[in-house]
Amino acid sequence: MRQAALVFSLCLAPLAAQTITEIRLRVEPADRRIRPGESAVIQQRSYGKATDSQGVEKSGRIQAPMGSLRVNGGWLSKPFLYQGQDDEPFLQTRTGWQEILSRGVGQYTVKDSVLYTAPEKEGAYRVEVDANGLKQFVDIVVTNTAPPGRPAEQVTFPPAAPSRDPYRRLVEQYAPVVAQETWFQPKSDYLARFDYDNDWDGGNNWENIDKGTSQAYVHYAVMETDSHWFLHYNFFHARDYSDNCVVGTCHENDNEGLILAVRKDGSEFGKLEAMETLAHDNIYSFTADRGIRNGVHDIDGAIAMHDDSHPVVFIEGGGHGVLGATARASLFDPQRMDFRQNTGVTYVYKGIAERPKHANDRMVGYDLLPIYEEWWTKARQNGWKENTFDAFYSYMPLGGRPGIASGAAVAGSFYGRAQAANKAKPFWGWHDKRTKDRRVLGTGQWGLDPAYAMSRNLTFPPGPYSLTYTFNPYLDDRWTPPAQAGARGIVSPAPVSRGEMAPPARGGAAPLEAAPSGWGDPVRQAVPGACELESRVDGVVRIAIRGSAADFRTVSGEPASETSARCSASLPDAAGWSVTVERTQGRGKVILEQAPDLANGFEAIVRIDDPARGADRYRAVLRWSATPAPSTSRQPERP
C-alpha cells in the first residue's frame, strides 16, 4: 500500500512551470509538396523556459499540445502524438521517477501533430497555427508534379454478381449512411472487407494495409420473427490503431456494427423502430418510436434519418466505435450532413464498391456482402484451413434461449497477431459489458439472438413482439418454445426448416394481433421445483441461481468450499411464481436477497451470513411454485 501511495503521489506531482516563447512547424514531406488528395504531417515544436525540481530555470524544447489551426484550402485531422522518429530531445526538468512518469503522461496527453489533406485542385495552401498567441504558418504546394505519397493499390475486386437473397431489397432499403471519421492513417479508417488484400489470412491484414484495396464494403445479416426483421450491418477495418498503442489498445482487424429492429406492419419494408450500435463492448440504443422506453439499457437518442429510410451513424477514427449520429460523442451533424470537426469520409449504399479519393471525401458508394456466405460458413470447425478465425468457443445463451445449430463450436474472433492477438470479433463473438455483467445476455447473444436481446435492452410498447424466429440460419431450428398464457405480445410460429433456407414472403403480411397482456418469455416449460444448496461458509456468500445452474460468490471471509447445488427442475424464466428459501442446516442467516424477475434476467440470489469464527456447513432449499404470493421482488413497469 505504501508503494502504491508513493506512485500515486508522484503521478499527482505538479508539472514544472513552463512558458512557451517560440513555436516551429515541421512538415513531412520536407519539401512541402504533395499531390491533390494526398496528405502531409504537420508537427508543432514548442520552445521556452521551464523550472526544474531544484528551482533552476532552463531553456529548450518543451512538451505542449497543438495550438488552434486555420487553413484556406484542404482539411485537418484531429491532433495526434507525432509518430515519426523525433530527432530533438525535450527539456528535462525532473529526475528519477518523476521524469519517467512525466514522460509517460506526456505520451498520453501531448498531441502535437495533425494530418493535412490536400484538396483536389492544384495550388498553394496555407496552414496557420496559434499557440497561446504565438503564431506560425506553412505553405503547402499541391501539384501533380509532386512524387506520389501513397503506394499504388495492388488489389481490385470486380462488381459482384446480382444477389439472389430475398432479403436484399430490405437490407438496401435501410442501408445506413456511414460518417467515418479519419485520423492519421486514413486508409485504416476506410470501410473494408476481410479479404481486402485478396487472401483470407487475418494474420497479414495489418502489414498489407498499403497494397490492399480501399474499395468500400459493409457486411450484413438478417434474422426474422413473425413480428420483426432484425438487420445486421457490420463495419470491418484492417487495423484498430492509436497514436499510443499500449497493452492491446491497438490490434489487427476490427469489426463493430449495428442492429436495426424493423416492425412488420403489412407494408413491403415495415417500420423502423430501434437501432442498437456497438462501440468497444458497449451497446448504445436509439429509437424511432417514442413509445419505446428504457430497459437494461438507457435510450441514447433518436435515430437520425437520411432520405427517409437510411439511419445515419458515426464511426470514430482509429478505434472505430459505432454510434448513432445523435449521440453526444458523435462528431457528425446529420442535419448539415457534415462533420462538426476533423476529417472524415461519408459512405452511402450504391451497390458499387467505390474508393475514397481522399481522407475527407463525401458520398462514397459501398456494396453489401452477406455475412453468412462470407464469414459464417468459414467460422465453423468444418475444414476451413486459412487463418481467418480463431478462439473457438461454445455459445451459451442465457434465458433458456436456443443455441447454435448442431451445437458445434464457433470461432469467437478473427485471427490476428499484430499488436495484440484475436481482438476483433464477428457479431457472434460480440458482448455488451452491462448485459454480460448482469447475466442478462451471454457472449454472442446480442448478435445471434437480437429479438431476445432487444426485448431485454429496451421496453417496447404493447403489441406483438415475437421471440420465435421464422428465419435465423445461425441458431438451432429444432428449438420451439411452448405456448404460454400471459405472454407479453408474444407469437410463436413454427420455424422454417433449415434445409429450405428460404424466408417467407415479406410483402402484404397481415398485421399481427396482440397477445394477452402480462409478462414472461416463452423459453421453456416451467414447472414447480426446488434446488438443494450446500456450502461451508466462513463469512458472507451469495449464491446466484439461474435456470438449473448455481454460482457461489464469496463476499467476505474465507472462500466458500464444498459447494453443491442439486435442482429438480429449472428456475422459471417467467413471472407469476412464488419463490422461497428455507435453511435446513447452519448457525447463521439464510435469506432470499433477490427474487427472480424480468429486470434481473430471472436470477435468484440466496445470501448466507455466518456470524461466528470458523466455517460452518450450511444447507438450504430454494423452492418455487405457481401459486402467487406477496413478494417484495421487483416487477418491471408495464409499458
Q: Do 605 and 542 form a contact (C-beta atoms < 8 A)?
A: yes
Q: Do 19 and 63 form a contact (C-beta atoms < 8 A)?
A: no
Q: Is residue 18 part of a domain?
A: yes
Give 385-440 as a DSSP string: -STTEEEEE----STT---BGGG--EEEEE---SSSSS----GGG---HHHHHTTS
Statement to judge: residues 341 and 255 lie in one domain? yes
Statement to judge: residues 116 and 188 lie in one domain? no
Among candidates 401, 522, 400, 524, which has minimal Cα distance to 466?
522
Rg (CA), the chain: 29
Statement to judge: residues 96 and 175 lie in one domain? no
Statement to judge: residues 8 and 138 lie in one domain? yes
Last residue of a domain, one of 142, 176, 204: 142
Q: What is the CATH number of the domain that holds 106?
A: 2.60.40.10
Q: Do 115 and 82 form a contact (C-beta atoms < 8 A)?
A: no
Statement to judge: residues 216 and 335 lie in one domain? yes
Statement to judge: residues 406 and 546 lie in one domain? no
Tell me the pairing of strands 217-225 and 364-370.
Answer: parallel
- pLDDT tens for residues 547-595? 878 888 888 888 888 888 888 888 988 778 899 999 999 999 999 999 9
Residue 93: phi and psi, rounded to 5, are -120, 5
Please name every residue paired with 42 in a beta bridge, in sequence order, or none if there are none.
Answer: 27, 114
Q: Is 379 left (phi over 0), alpha (psi -120 to 50) or beta?
A: alpha
Statement to judge: residues 174 and 288 lie in one domain? yes
Last residue of a domain, one of 100, 127, 142: 142
Statement to judge: residues 375 and 272 lie in one domain? yes
Q: Is residue 403 part of a domain?
A: yes
Q: Do 189 and 318 form a contact (C-beta atoms < 8 A)?
A: yes
First-to-last C-alpha distance (Å) of the chain: 50
Q: Is residue 162 part of a domain?
A: no
Q: Domain range holding 16?
A: 2-142
pLDDT value for 247: 73
Side chain identity, residue 615: A
pLDDT value for 636: 37
Global pTM value: 0.75
Among candidates 150, 108, 132, 119, which has minimal Cα distance to 249?
108
How many domains, in total, are found in the chain?
3
165-169 long-range contacts, CB within 8 A, separation 24+: 165/370, 166/502, 166/503, 166/506, 167/222, 167/224, 167/229, 167/503, 167/506, 168/368, 169/269
pLDDT value for 361: 98
Statement to judge: residues 308 and 438 lie in one domain? yes
Q: Is residue 75 part of a domain?
A: yes
Contacts of 306 (CB under 8 A, 6+ apart): 177, 312, 334, 337, 348
Q: Is residue 216 part of a domain?
A: yes
pLDDT value for 520: 30
Q: Do 396 and 404 form a contact (C-beta atoms < 8 A)?
A: no
Statement to judge: residues 324 and 207 lie in one domain? yes
Q: Is residue 506 part of a domain?
A: no
Q: Do 15 and 52 form a contact (C-beta atoms < 8 A)?
A: no
Q: Do 439 and 603 form a contact (C-beta atoms < 8 A)?
A: yes
Statement to judge: residues 84 and 127 lie in one domain? yes
Among candidates 88, 93, 82, which has minimal Cα distance to 58?
93
Last residue of a domain, one of 142, 157, 190: 142
Residue ranges for the chain with pLDDT beneath 70? 1-16, 93-108, 381-382, 406-407, 477-525, 627-639
Q: Is residue 20 part of a domain?
A: yes
Q: Is residue 180 part of a domain?
A: yes
Statement to judge: residues 7 and 138 lie in one domain? yes
